[in-house]
Amino acid sequence: MVTLAYVCARPQAGAADGEYASFRAAMRRDDLERIDLVRDGLPADAFDRYAGFVVGGSPFNVTDPRSTKTDVQLRVEGDLERIAERAASAATGALFTCYGIGIVTRMLGGEVSRAYPEDTGPSVIRLTPAAASDRVFGGLAAQFTALTAHKEGSGDVPPGATLLATNDACPVQAYRVGDTLYATQFHPEPTGSAFTERMAVYRDDGYFSANDYDAIAARVVRASLTEPVRLLQQFARAFGA
């Protein structure tokens, strides 16, 4: 059991396909399989079939009132919590990104709020001293650029978590629980061009002014994004063999 799985939580098929392709390319894993929680749900044998999971982003928000969440969103959240619970207990490895960090934080008893949004585009990420000896974050530059776009976040890590990365706008950029559960607020997988394609899908969803698309896209494609990709490759080596 050495296969890794990409876990999709995006209803928009084009954005989901692009995200899957980005994870495969960034991790250099042509054997990366795909689990689509929106359309199919979590397979009953997922934890027998896969050695680890990478969870993509989503336009869903953990902080949405429960009364406004669709049955699909509630089912996706439940499936993601199952993966997070298994990883927190060291039964599997998992890396949750962007929307997923909110799922993990809530599951662990932490607070997710609308107080820490970040604009769409490049953001500066700073590693904490704890990251230096970490098997996924160790060896990365102490400060690097990553891509962000989110409406919610956290001011502190949840109980039992170790902060690995931070910045001024959103203090919790990455953390781990034990040595098998990881979460990042930033998107580690896309190239600049892939991110602009995703921006086009969500240009009217409130992440940025649609009129600013060209200016933001220009900043995105100029950004150097070497370290987030290295993070994913180190995760793949640690959990995918």
Residue 241's pLDDT is: 66
Q: Could you give the number of structural domains in the chain?
A: 1
**93 pLDDT tier (thresholds 50, 70, 90):** very high
> For position 82, which CATH number holds?
3.40.50.880
**pLDDT per residue as tens digits for the range 106-142:** 999 999 999 999 999 999 999 999 999 999 999 999 9
Q: H-helix or E-strand containing 145?
A: strand 143-150
At residue 1, does pLDDT exceed 90? no
CA distance 147 to 143: 13
Helix, strand, coil shares of the chain, percent, nearest 5, are 40, 20, 40
At residue 37, does pLDDT exceed 70? yes
Which domain covers residue 207, as residue numbers?
4-240
**pLDDT per residue as tens digits for the range 180-210:** 999 999 999 999 999 999 999 999 999 999 9
Residue 2's pLDDT is: 63
**What pTM, to 2 d.p., does this model score?**
0.97
